[in-house]
Amino acid sequence: MTRWSVVAALVAGAALVVALGGQAHQIRLTVTPESARLDEPFRLRVTGMAPGGIVTIAAAGRSHFANEWKVVLTAHSDSRGDVDLRDRYLLALLRPPGKPVPGDYLPWTETLSVVARAGSSSATARAHRFLVAPGVRVIRERSTSVGFTGEWLVPRGVHQHPAILLLGGSEGGVPDYPPAYMLAARGYPVLALAYFRAPGLPRTLQRIPLEYFRRALDWLRVRPQVDPRRLTTFGISRGGELSLILASTFRDLVHGAVSYVGADVAVSSPTDPQQPAWTFRGKPLGISIPVAQIDGPVFAAGGGDDALWPSGLYARSLAKELQGHDRRDVILVYPRAGHLVGLAVPNQPELSTTAISPLYGPEEFGGSPRADEAAREDSWPRLLRFLASADRR
């Protein structure tokens, strides 16, 4: 073979590689931020591709049962040979292999392996999402020493900052929820408070005295990390109802309220409808909650397809009650979402819309994993803006 025929063969081979989709290109994958809070979306960037090429990006994590949960994305490169996927909540997209295993789920702290493939070229990266930020101390407070039971989440170096009393729902115990940790990571001191089903507390959600919460608020307002003029109650489900009750009852202590999938009325005990859930000065609370009296703005989010209770209707009713009072409230209703909007923080792995409660038996949450996650992705940034705005009042 002559020198010129060798050159011609090499040129033809290069043309064939390009025609087959740019397999000779060596791609590069970056995932940012590489390590961040749970609620931080991912940015996936692939470079070094042929213009108009196709790349598949597979992300995988490990569940509590060591099963691999995975998602595969496909994208076309632009004229520069780049793919740039922004604001992707990858954890919410992960799915288990085959039929879901009861009780198996992804942990909130997760490290993902990510692989991009274009033709014969591939690149890998890893990304970590954590629940507890390095600068946050978590201190367990016991009823025997302070008069209540909860977890005190203290951001490092914070002084006289707006603070949050976090209230869980009808599952009881200390509310070990992502919002507590995500807000603490942003500098908000958070007291996550148990009010039943914990040592030294009632076993069921029945006749819980509001004076118990007053003790927690009084304790919270004198912490050096806390600005007592800017305390907000934040509740989920029955805690959302309670958040509005406390803000309207203790107006001298609470200056704003957040209610995720809560109620705008005082509902009876879930274990005995003939008994009240809440008492004040020894008497059952009335059904109506005077929400217009709350000294500060109200944020509420409900699901229009909530099967556990009608949180969407409650939110619409709340909006009507607050209307015309010259307030800065934010009321959101997501028609196709269910009760799991109440998890609040986005980037949550797929969760079943049914559960077996140890207290109440089978429960239906309504909505769908996709609709619930979309609602959380929309409401969470709005909540952060709401709290930041309240900080400046």
pLDDT band at 4 (very low <50, low <70, confident <90, very high): very low
Q: Does the structure show a pLDDT above 80 at 98?
A: yes
Distance CA 217, CA 197 (A): 20
CB atoms within 10 A of CB 347: 26
Q: Which fold has domain 136-391?
A: Rossmann fold (3.40.50)
> Which secondary-structure segment (H or E) carries 76?
strand 68-76
pLDDT digits (tens, 9 = 90+) for 370-382: 999 999 999 999 9
> Which secondary-structure segment (H or E) carries 137?
strand 136-141
Report the b/e string of 134-170 with b at 16+ CB within 10 A. Answer: eebeeeebebeeebbbbbbbbbeebeebbbbbbbbbb
Q: pLDDT at position 391, please?
A: 58
Q: Backbone phi, then psi, for 308, in 5-degree steps?
A: -80, -45
Residue spans of the domains in the chain: they are: 20-130, 136-391
Distance CA 180, CA 229 (A): 20
Q: What percent of the chain has pLDDT over 90?
A: 84
Q: Which fold has domain 20-130?
A: Immunoglobulin-like (2.60.40)
Q: pLDDT at position 184, please?
A: 98
Distance CA 129, CA 185 (A): 13
Q: Does the structure show a pLDDT above 90 at 145?
A: no
Distance CA 209, CA 207 (A): 6
* Token pair belonging to 388: 């930041």
> Which secondary-structure segment (H or E) carries 88?
strand 83-88
Q: pLDDT at position 340, please?
A: 97
| Beta strands at 298-303 and 330-334: parallel, antiparallel or unpaired | parallel
Helices 238-249 and 210-221 pack at an angle, to 10 degrees, of 70
Q: pLDDT at position 356, please?
A: 83
pLDDT digits (tens, 9 = 90+) for 112-135: 999 999 999 999 999 999 999 999
pLDDT digits (tens, 9 = 90+) for 227-278: 999 999 999 999 999 999 999 999 999 999 999 999 999 999 999 999 999 9
Distance CA 334, CA 240 (A): 16
Report the chain's C-alpha Rg in angstroms.
25
pLDDT digits (tens, 9 = 90+) for 280-303: 999 999 999 999 999 999 999 999
Q: Does the structure show a pLDDT above 60 at 2?
A: no
Query: pTM, whole model, 2 decimals?
Result: 0.91
